[in-house]
A and B are shown apart, each in its own frame.
Chain A
Amino acid sequence: MIARISRYHTQKAAKTIIWLGAFSTLAVMVWILWQVLREGVPLLRLGFFLDSPHQMGRTGGIFPTIIGTAVLTAVAILIATPLGVGTAIYLREYTREGKISRMIRFGTDCLSGVPSIIFGLFGFVFFVIFLRMGWSILSGGLTLATMILPTIICTAEEAIKAIPNSFREVSYALGGTRWQTIVKVILPNALPGIFTGVLLGVGRSVGETAAIILTAGSSFLMPTSLFSPVRTMAIHFYILAREGISMEMAYATGAALILLILVINTIANWLLHRYVRKLEGKGHA
């Protein structure tokens, strides 16, 4: 009888703790979003998205920073995705657990724990100064790429690992070469997982400040080439708030940033769903 009562109480206690965990996570998230959107959304006008900043950002819009965010993120993703997916394929399809694979894994594990300001410092010393790229989209994009690479490698590897071994056996047994097997079976089936990793990378790039301010500069002029310095929305927000230029505009920028991330995630999820459905052949039913 005692045992039954105590088991009942453990059940209840566990349920409460788990429920509290979920609830506080949700509450914190809602509170942050509410705070930023409440202050920022009333200030959003079409002109705010399409205008350049005036008076250091006290008035005007944020158009160049939207472009800066988009271009910087695009450069980072375009560099990091092929490298990361290639590494993951190498680790899972071309080599067995050994010295090299352990070294790569140890390296990526370490990299993913490094604070972004250190990546910024590395980017500044290596890309900006040593390779003479200056404060530019290219320096910033390359720095971001090194930063998100571990995430992409790790998620791509997990996605490839999850593919049933029978798929590989079938492909080889039907006369497939290793490359054909990778292109026709491994990659299409790993794509949703790879996509998730890329999306995490996009999120980190869009929200990053420390690594970018040291490598891409903070000019809010419209960039003209890959060698132009840029300012991203996150940095714009940081400078507006930090230097006390305009708290209102900072909140408006923050709100725009959150909305942008929401839009990206929604579109990405929709694309992913469509792809998975197609992969499973449900579209034809």
Chain B
Amino acid sequence: MPEQEKISMQHFNFFYGRNRALQEITLKILSNQIFALLGPARSGKTTLLKSINRLTDLIFEATHTGQIFIDGQDIFAPEVVLPELRRRVGMVFDLPTPLPLSIFDNIAYGPRLKGITQKSRLEGIVEKALKSAVLWTEVKERLSSSALRLSGGQQQRLCIARVLALEPEIILLDEPCSGLDPISTTHIEESLAELKNHYTILLVPHNIQQASRVADRVGFFLSGELIEEGTAEKIFTRPRDKRTEDYISGKFG
């Protein structure tokens, strides 16, 4: 698939009350790539992700200035229907968040909200989503048992499958491997490499090594500012900014 501009942020600022969490972010993200957001804690990475599916709307007293476009369309325009935007932009959180439902019902949650009720259709969607998230063979015998009984790594892949069930265009992954063991992490990284053929992926990686393994492009964030952005190879070998270099070489974090 050809790479083209998928998301474009222009002079985007985000405030929690009076605190500025994002400063003048101007950034283009291409389709069918993995874009990694690198930076220490509280540098605005999660806020940036949640701005793209407007989950930030749930936060009290949060405001923003500037624009975000997806496929050239302003996501803050009044005619945007939020549930539709969020179906296009799926999100996986830093901790596995299965709902207290069966495995099947977790995956079918989004499609059902959309109005799909036909059992055979839901079954097809659930199977396909679980296969894409490399979880199908482990759970196909017990789809009706509780998702809470899965292991942490399985729960996180369930959350990825739950997002895939809606066939989004963009997937936001906020440290999806933070609570996981190395083997589960490898599983998820493998599925990411496969997923990028079909989706645009924004990833807050677990650590710098993960970014270097999976990312096509990398942005380095510090205190809400985008310090620099470029191909993974360039950022990791020839960063322009001293701060990027210090962070990548582990001088602070």
Q: Which of B25-33, B144-152, B176-184 is near enough to bind chain A? A: B144-152
Residue of A nearest to B142 (CB): A284
Q: Which of B69-77, B97-105, B224-232 is near enough to bind chain A? A: B97-105
Residue of A nearest to B54 (CB): A172
Residue of A nearest to B100 (CB): A279
Residue of B nearest to A167 (CB): B99
Q: Which of B37-45, B84-92, B239-247 is near enough to bind chain A? A: B84-92
Distance between B187 CB and nearest chain A CB, rounded to angstroms: 21
- Cα A279 to Cα B90 in complex, Å, equals 25
B157 on the A face (CB < 8 A): no
Given contacts A166-B93, A280-B148, A282-B146, contact A173 B55 (CB under 8 A): yes
Judge whether A184 and B95 touch: CB under 8 Å: no
Determine which of B84, B144, B149 lies in contact with A175 in the assembled complex, contact meaning CB atoms within 8 Å: B84
Judge whether B146 and A173 touch: CB under 8 Å: no
A266 on the B face (CB < 8 A): no
Residue of A nearest to B58 (CB): A172
Given contacts A168-B58, A180-B113, contact A174 B93 (CB under 8 A): no
Determine which of A180, A185, A284 lies in contact with B99 in the assembled complex, contact meaning CB atoms within 8 Å: A185
Distance between A127 CB and nearest chain B CB, rounded to angstroms: 40
Residue of A nearest to B143 (CB): A284
Given contacts A172-B58, A175-B166, contact A281 B100 (CB under 8 A): yes
Given contacts A167-B99, A168-B58, A184-B109, contact A175 B83 (CB under 8 A): yes
Given contacts A284-B102, A284-B145, contact A175 B97 (CB under 8 A): no
Determine which of B95, B144, B162 lies in contact with A166 in the assembled complex, contact meaning CB atoms within 8 Å: B95
The majority secondary structure among interface residues of chain A is helix
Write out, one digit per residue, whether chain B residues 3-31 have a CB within 8 A of any chain A CB (1) or not (0): 00000000000000000000000000000
Residue of A nearest to B163 (CB): A174
B53 on the A face (CB < 8 A): yes
Determine which of A166, A167, A174, A281 lies in contact with B113 in the assembled complex, contact meaning CB atoms within 8 Å: A174
A:186-232 near B, CB below 8 Å: 189
Determine which of A170, A177, A282 lies in contact with B97 in the assembled complex, contact meaning CB atoms within 8 Å: A170
Write out, one digit per residue, whether chain A residues 92-113 have a CB within 8 A of any chain B CB (1) or not (0): 0000100000000000000000
B252 on the A face (CB < 8 A): no
Determine which of A96, A173, A177, A282 lies in contact with B91 in the assembled complex, contact meaning CB atoms within 8 Å: A173
Distance between B96 CB and nearest chain A CB, rounded to angstroms: 9
Judge whether A174 and B102 touch: CB under 8 Å: no
Chain B residues, CB < 8 A from A168: 58
Distance between A94 CB and nearest chain B CB, rounded to angstroms: 13
A51 on the B face (CB < 8 A): no
Judge whether A173 and B83 touch: CB under 8 Å: no
Distance between A189 CB and nearest chain B CB, rounded to angstroms: 7
Judge whether A175 and B102 touch: CB under 8 Å: no
Judge whether A175 and B114 touch: CB under 8 Å: yes
- Cα A176 to Cα B100 in complex, Å, equals 16
Judge whether B86 and A172 touch: CB under 8 Å: yes
Judge whether B91 and A285 touch: CB under 8 Å: no
Write out, one digit per residue, whether chain A residues 73-97 have a CB within 8 A of any chain B CB (1) or not (0): 0000000000000000000000010
- Cα A180 to Cα B109 in complex, Å, equals 11
Chain A residues, CB < 8 A from B147: 281
Judge whether B146 and A284 touch: CB under 8 Å: yes
Chain A residues, CB < 8 A from B86: 172-175
A:35-74 near B, CB below 8 Å: none
Judge whether B58 and A285 touch: CB under 8 Å: no
Chain B residues, CB < 8 A from A285: 145, 149
Residue of B nearest to A285 (CB): B145
Judge whether B93 and A175 touch: CB under 8 Å: no
Chain B residues, CB < 8 A from A172: 55, 58, 86
Chain B residues, CB < 8 A from A169: 55, 58, 93, 97
Chain A residues, CB < 8 A from B163: 174
Chain B residues, CB < 8 A from A184: 109, 113
Q: Which 3 A-B pairs have the closest CB atoms?
A: A281-B146, A174-B110, A175-B83
Pairs A–B under 8 Å by Cβ, sample size 22: A167-B99, A170-B99, A172-B55, A173-B91, A174-B110, A175-B83, A175-B84, A175-B110, A175-B113, A175-B114, A176-B83, A177-B113, A180-B113, A184-B109, A281-B102, A281-B147, A282-B146, A284-B142, A284-B144, A284-B146, A285-B145, A285-B149
Contacts A169-B58, A172-B86 known; list 13 others, CB within 8 Å. Answer: A96-B60, A173-B55, A174-B110, A174-B162, A174-B163, A174-B166, A175-B87, A175-B114, A176-B83, A177-B113, A281-B148, A285-B145, A285-B149
